Chain A
Amino acid sequence: MASSKPLIEELDNTAPMQAENQQGNLSLIVRGFIDMFPLCVAVIPWGILCGSLAIQVGLSPWQAQAMSLFVFAGAAQLAGMQLIGLGSPAMPVLSSTFVISSRHLLYSAVFQSYVRDLPLFKRIVFAFFLTDEMFALTNAYIAKHKRFCYVYAVASGIAFYVMWNLATLVGIVAGNNIENLQAYGLEFAIAATFIALVVPAIKDKPVFMSVLASGVSVLILELLAFEYALIASTFIGMFAGYYFAKKSSAKESATIKSEAKKRAVSVETKQEQSDE
């Protein structure tokens, strides 16, 4: 007992800082889990569909789970498995994987300045968990707190990963017992979460215009059955936002200039009046 006393005192010097740090990290992790929860709920039906479809197209249970464990990309997995089910050769499967995943190139570009200088392991972990959902939440966090938080981002990504794999497992176990699951319109769950994420983010005209431009162009391109509709309309939306941001900032500086001019003129006239 007596011998442990100095040890405690020694620990005490460093303990408060460490404890504070740990508590900070812990609350960030919890925050990440909580914020990801609604998105996890919405993805459950998709995960189940992915698992059962994998079994239905003839993958082994292990292969079906491996898809979610390693590929970890819902839309790419579903498209790939539908092609496998049709007896497609490998190349179309891989090219569809690339087309669907290409939007992730943009996500990695968006976070480049925050992540590129981290150690290799941290970069690999961040990239592995970088899904649409983690991208959206991390963006929202940056918008709210004006800073990037690695711990928060990865924690939310891991929460989503765990849920996605559990849902896949349920689908694998259910396997052929789930018939025509797609007819239930499961995609709507994804639409609902994305609406819930996008609408509150519309805070100014440039963002609104980017949403409008991307939404209108994706409808047109989808109706034309353009293969790259998603990525093309994303770019259209981005350019629209950029254009209107430039335009409004030009307008702002113009009004500031004209106001400054007016003020200068009024000062001059006042001076003239006082001179008289």
Chain B
Amino acid sequence: MSNDLLIVLMTAITFSCRYLFFMKSLPISLSPRVQQLLQYTAPSVLTAMWVPIVFLGHKTEGASFFHSPFLYAGLITVLASLKIKNTLTVVVVGMGSFLILNWVL
């Protein structure tokens, strides 16, 4: 299959996943119970994405768990986000500490 066609199909897949529940003809309407369940989507899905990076990130670099800059920078970012309200500052502190730790460890 040509790469062009592959890109078209990938686009179709990602767009369909984002659009599905906005279809007017979709016979599924979500019950209040499901809506309550969906309230916890954001914290759950974002956590399921950051936790593996922080706790399993060392595997991609072949470092040991206790020498992983991912682990310590992750913990620093968590602490920073508890103290600092501004998202940008937290991100900068997190990335900065990662770069330093990556260099030191």
Contact = CB atoms under 8 A, between A and B. Distances in A.
Contact of B40 (A60, A136, A238): A238
A215 interface: yes
Contacts of B35: 113
B44 to A, nearest CB: 3
B49 interface: yes
A190 B22 CA distance: 28
Contact of B22 (A84, A90, A108): A108
A132 B53 contact: no
A98 B20 CA distance: 13
Interface string B2-15: 01111111110111
Interface in A175-192: 182-185, 187-192
Contact of A191 (B15, B17, B74): B74
B17 A101 contact: yes
Given A192-B91, A196-B87, A109 B48 contact: no
A76 interface: yes
A89 B2 CA distance: 10
Instruction: Please indicate which of the listed interface residues A102, A108, A196, A202 has the most CB atoms of chain B within 10 Å of its own CB.
Output: A196
B50 A42 contact: no
Instruction: Please indicate which of the listed interface residues A59, A126, A188, A239 has the most CB atoms of chain B within 10 Å of its own CB.
Output: A188
A contact residues, range = 35 or more
B104 interface: no
Nearest to A239: B37
A233 B44 contact: yes
A196 B91 contact: yes
Contacts of B44: 210-211, 213-214, 233-238, 241
Interface in A35-53: 35, 37-39, 41-42
B22 A123 contact: yes
A266 B44 CA distance: 45
Given A113-B35, A195-B81, A211-B43, A188 B18 contact: no
Contacts of B73: 188, 192
Nearest to B75: A195
Interface string A140-177: 00000000000000000000000000000000000000
A107 B44 CA distance: 12
A185 B57 contact: yes
A139 interface: yes
Contacts of B8: 70
Interface of B: 1, 3-11, 13-15, 17-24, 30, 34-57, 60-61, 69-70, 73-74, 77-78, 80-82, 85, 87-88, 90-92, 94-95, 98, 102
22 contacts: A35-B87, A63-B7, A71-B7, A94-B13, A102-B17, A103-B45, A108-B18, A113-B30, A116-B24, A123-B19, A130-B18, A132-B49, A135-B42, A188-B57, A188-B98, A190-B50, A192-B95, A194-B50, A197-B42, A198-B43, A210-B40, A238-B41
Give me the 10 closest cross-chain CB pairs, A-B, nearest first: A237-B44, A241-B40, A192-B94, A38-B88, A127-B19, A199-B81, A196-B90, A191-B53, A108-B21, A194-B50
